[in-house]
Amino acid sequence: MTRAHRFDAAAAIIALCAFTAMDAAMSPAQEQVIATLHLSTVQYAWVSAAQFLVIAISAPLIGRCGDVFDKRSVLAVSLALACAGGLLAWSATSVVTYMLTQALLCAWVGAGTVTMALLAELSPPERKASGQGLYQGATGFFASAALLAADPVMGALGTLSVFWLPALAALPCALFLGRRLVLRVPRTARSERPSLRQLDVRGALVLGGMLALLSVALQFVTNGGWMTALALVCLAATALVLPRWVREQRQHASPFVDVTLLARRDVACIHIMSLTLGFGTTAIYVLLPMLVTAASASGASYGSGALVVGGLLMPTGLTSVLLMPLYAPLDRRLGPRGTIALGMACMAAALMIPVVWRQSLWPLLACTTLFGAGISLAFTEGITELLRIVPSERGAGASGTFQLAKTIGSLTAATVFSVVLGAGGEAGAVASLPQLSIAFAIAAAASVAGMLVTAGVRPRGQAPAGLGENRLAPGTAPGQLED
């Protein structure tokens, strides 16, 4: 890695650390944001659903742009969009401006997928796990700091500083990466330069439409009456369009999503594992604050303020920092299958703790610490192995579909958890402890399923099957699959 490459990677990581801190701070800051903008519960739910949808569409789109165009330029543009969204929050006064703010801010997630592919591209084979571990550790450290600092910072600078302050910190990094757009002199003929034809815009639009239908279906499927009927119609439409879209992607010379590559056993298993990660993260960042409030109301010996929630969630990021020296040794000793399985097992054990032991802070701290260790291992090893086995020209797109699977998992988990919590029959503001226990048990079961799925990941060094026709021909030598 040259000095210029190190500077580019450092600028991307610093910017993403700032936005990761913003994302982490939203957990303890959620109630204050709702109160500041005078949002109703329904409005906030719609904004959250729209945010999930934008992430689901933009992550693979930005990732694919990173494969087709220059990764550093794509990083600069996506980070600039996220910075614009954060700065727009300075004047957010309504649900419309807040929704626009969140839509623009979602570009940082896509920037993260390009950054992971860039790190894999620049790192030698024996240091790929260390490179991804450095990224996860750095973002984990900033997430931990944000969970503690969110309350005092919002008290001093205002609630919406949780959005515009990270944007101010990331803006110089976006400008640094953007210098390439100004200084670079094209060295190739116009006919040889990347174009939108390589992006498969039609395939991207159809995928976005299917994700929109899925999001609407998950939003309305539990409402009853005509809304449930609308949700079922959306699911039926998605089921009709999906096979045709898959067929077109297989036949396209440069598909938006390489479904032939996704059909490989190891690639598919890693994506299914990512989907189960969505269940776990939703349980920790959504259900745990609800559990703290419910346990406090039922007589637990701790409070339920933002500082308590932030302190409980802090280990989820701090463990990423502490595990940094272990990523590469575990990758060498246990291999991808063993490391991912270990991470998923830690997550499953962590999510069972609130089911049986929740009346004091210490078991909940043990839960978040063990969960942080588990998701750090599973996510880091999963993305590292994925970027090892896919062709380098598909790395950023594969990172995008990995994030897409995790987002769909979060959407599905939110729907399942809302059904479970609504089945308690109590219409109070505080969730029922027994229903929360059931929801945590479901999340733990999803993590166990993710652990079992890792059995489909091939041991390192085993020759993979042919990839099909639209990227690599069957019988491609294993050595040609390395980045």
List the chain pLDDT tens, one digit each, 483 residues.
Answer: 577 778 888 888 999 999 988 888 887 777 788 888 888 767 777 787 788 788 888 888 898 888 888 888 899 999 999 999 999 988 878 888 888 898 999 999 989 888 888 888 877 777 777 778 778 888 888 887 887 788 888 888 888 888 999 999 999 999 998 876 666 545 544 445 555 566 788 888 888 888 888 888 887 877 777 888 888 898 899 999 999 999 988 888 888 888 888 888 899 999 999 999 999 999 988 888 888 877 776 666 566 666 777 778 888 888 888 888 888 888 888 888 999 999 999 999 999 998 888 777 888 889 999 999 999 999 989 998 898 888 888 888 888 899 889 988 988 898 888 888 876 555 444 667 788 889 999 999 999 999 999 888 877 655 454 444 344 333 333 333 333
CATH class of the region 3-179+254-460: mainly alpha
CA-to-CA distance for 165 and 296, rounded, in angstroms? Answer: 32
CA angle 334, 319, 281 (to 5 degrees): 90
* Residue 130 to residue 31: CA distance in whole angstroms: 37
Domain boundaries, the chain: 3-179+254-460, 201-253
Are 400 and 208 in contact, with CB atoms under 8 Å apart?
Answer: no
pLDDT at 255: 85
57 closest CA partner among 110, 114, 113: 110
Sign of CA dihedral 62, 66, 70, 72: positive
Buried b (16+ CB within 10 A) or exposed e, 173-212: bbebbbeeeeeeeeeeeeeeeeeeebbbeebbebbbebbb
Residue 67 · residue 258 · CB < 8 Å: no
- Residue 189 has what pLDDT? 46
Q: pTM to 2 decimals?
A: 0.80
CA distance 22 to 113: 17
**Phi/psi-derived region of residue 217, left when phi > 0, alpha when psi is between -120 and 50, beta in every other case:** alpha
Amino acid at site 435: Q
Q: Coil, strand, or helix at residue 100? A: helix
Nearest to 118 by CA among 240, 278, 4: 4
The pair of structure tokens assigned to 64 is: 């694919």
Contacts for 90 with CB less than 8 Å, ≥ 6 apart:
160, 164
> 């205002």: which residue's tokens?
158
